[in-house]
């Protein structure tokens, strides 16, 4: 068995224009001071990294690593959530998702999609240059507006949607394969890959591509009422990354899974800081240890109530206390009697 690495922290929710969150050096010093051992870097945030430069210059990639390492930290992975979202956007969402792309591409969905694809190619090469073996992104969505089948979905619509999604991602998956990096999709509402079944549909459409893998985040499963522990049993061979994020689901007589268009504070399902929600992290860390997950446990802070700096401070300690240092021996080794093939045959009555 292998011991999970951590605690790590996803920097996306913390980057800002004020110190210590305004550049990679400052935020790494802050994170290390809280007890984190690794940082997951949002590749779209120029305050942290220039993605294209990291892809094209090994020297620059080494400089980024050097900044992180100087604080006793490691880079856990790069993230391209926002760019991956733009690989597949239904026209109904064009206006809102334009904000994820450069201003010169706003109002030009075709150009925006090509930009997003290029960003993922940069992400593959940058990940290689940084010496990492996994990368996280979103799948985007062509079918999400049909998630609840009313009116009835036309026959073949889902198959056509996943075929197109796979066509857009296959060249990217192949680029990641060429550099020896796993591309991990965060299974997330709003994406066409939002549960196990949709991930399986995508896998089938890509020919079970070996680089199409999973980032496991139990918070999104709590809000869907999905069995997040059995999910590990089913998909552990594809789980290459782990976001440690808590959540709670408290349905009532007025609102349930869909949330009634309410804000995050009022919704029955909402994300919480680590330890404040309903996720069984002892069960999760146990299963990941059982299945030899050797990646990072990375805190993603998204809480509607608690201040982010408090969530980070508590989160580092929470993860450290939940990581299982796996045993190198069996507990009953002291009672071992020794054995050889002849002895085993005698015990079985075969002597």
Predicted confidence (pLDDT) at residue 227 exceeds the cutoff of 80: yes
Q: Is the peptide bond before 29 cis (omega within 30 degrees of 0)?
A: no
Q: Is the peptide bond before 84 cis (omega within 30 degrees of 0)?
A: no
Q: How many domains does the chain have?
A: 1
Mean per-residue pLDDT of the chain = 97
CATH number at residue 128: 3.20.20.150
> In the prediction, which pLDDT does 1 show?
83
> In the prediction, which pLDDT does 335 show?
74
Radius of gyration, CA atoms only, the chain: 22
> In the prediction, which pLDDT does 80 show?
98
Angstrom distance (rounded) from CA 144 to CA 194? 9
Judge whether 60 and 53 are in contact, CB under 8 Å: yes
- Convert the pLDDT of each residue in 153-209 to its tens digit: 999 999 999 999 999 999 999 999 999 999 999 999 999 999 999 999 999 999 999
End-to-end CA distance of the chain: 35
pLDDT grade for 328, boundaries at 50, 70 and 90: confident
Q: Is the peptide bond before 7 cis (omega within 30 degrees of 0)?
A: yes
> In the prediction, which pLDDT does 36 show?
98
Kind of pairing between the strands at 269-272 and 246-249: antiparallel
Judge whether 168 and 202 are in contact, CB under 8 Å: no
> In the prediction, which pLDDT does 351 show?
67
Percent above pLDDT 70 for the chain: 100
Mutual orientation of helices 228-235 and 281-290 as an angle, nearest 10°? 10
H or E segment at 9?
Answer: strand 5-10
pTM: 0.95
> In the prediction, which pLDDT does 171 show?
98
| Residue in 8, 75, 28, 35 with CA at minimum distance from that of residue 243 | 8
Angstrom distance (rounded) from CA 348 to CA 351? 8
pLDDT grade for 334, boundaries at 50, 70 and 90: confident
Show the domain range for 32: 5-347
Angstrom distance (rounded) from CA 334 to CA 170? 52
Triad 193, 195, 196: Cα angle to 5° = 105
Angstrom distance (rounded) from CA 198 to CA 141? 11
- Convert the pLDDT of each residue in 265-314 to its tens digit: 999 999 999 999 999 999 999 999 999 999 999 999 999 999 999 999 99
């Amino acid at each position: 068995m292998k011991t999970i690495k951590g605690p790590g922290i996803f920097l996306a929710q913390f980057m800002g224009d004020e110190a210590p969150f305004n550049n990679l050096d400052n935020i790494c010093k802050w994170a290390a001071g809280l007890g984190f051992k690794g940082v997951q870097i949002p590749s779209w945030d120029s305050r942290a990294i220039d993605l294209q430069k990291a892809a094209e210059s090994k020297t620059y990639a080494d400089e980024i690593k050097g900044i992180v390492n100087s604080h006793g930290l490691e880079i856990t992975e790069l993230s391209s959530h926002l760019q991956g979202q733009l690989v597949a956007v239904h026209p109904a969402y064009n206006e809102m998702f334009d904000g994820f792309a450069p201003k010169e591409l706003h109002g030009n969905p075709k150009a925006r999609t090509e930009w997003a694809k290029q960003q993922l190619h940069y992400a593959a090469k940058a990940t290689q240059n940084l010496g990492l073996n996994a990368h996280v992104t979103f799948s985007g969505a062509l079918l999400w507006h049909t998630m609840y089948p009313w009116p009835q979905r036309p026959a073949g619509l889902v198959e056509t949607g996943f075929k197109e999604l796979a066509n857009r991602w296959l060249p990217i998956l192949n680029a990641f394969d060429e550099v020896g990096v796993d591309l991990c999709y965060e299974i997330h509402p709003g994406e066409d890959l939002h549960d196990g079944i949709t991930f399986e549909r995508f896998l089938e459409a890509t020919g079970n591509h070996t680089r199409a893998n999973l980032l496991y985040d139990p918070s999104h499963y709590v809000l869907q009422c999905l069995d997040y522990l059995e999910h590990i049993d089913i998909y552990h061979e594809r789980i290459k990354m782990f976001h440690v994020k808590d959540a709670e689901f408290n349905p009532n007589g007025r609102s349930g899974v869909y949330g009634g268009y309410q804000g995050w504070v009022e919704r029955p399902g909402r994300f919480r800081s680590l330890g404040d929600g309903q996720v069984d992290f002892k069960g999760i860390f146990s299963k990941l240890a059982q299945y030899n997950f050797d990646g990072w446990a990375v805190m993603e802070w998204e809480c509607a109530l608690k201040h982010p700096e408090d969530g980070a401070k508590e989160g580092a300690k929470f993860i450290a206390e939940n990581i299982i240092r796996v045993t190198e021996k069996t507990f009953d080794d002291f009672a071992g009697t020794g054995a050889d093939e002849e002895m085993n045959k005698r015990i079985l009555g075969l002597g």
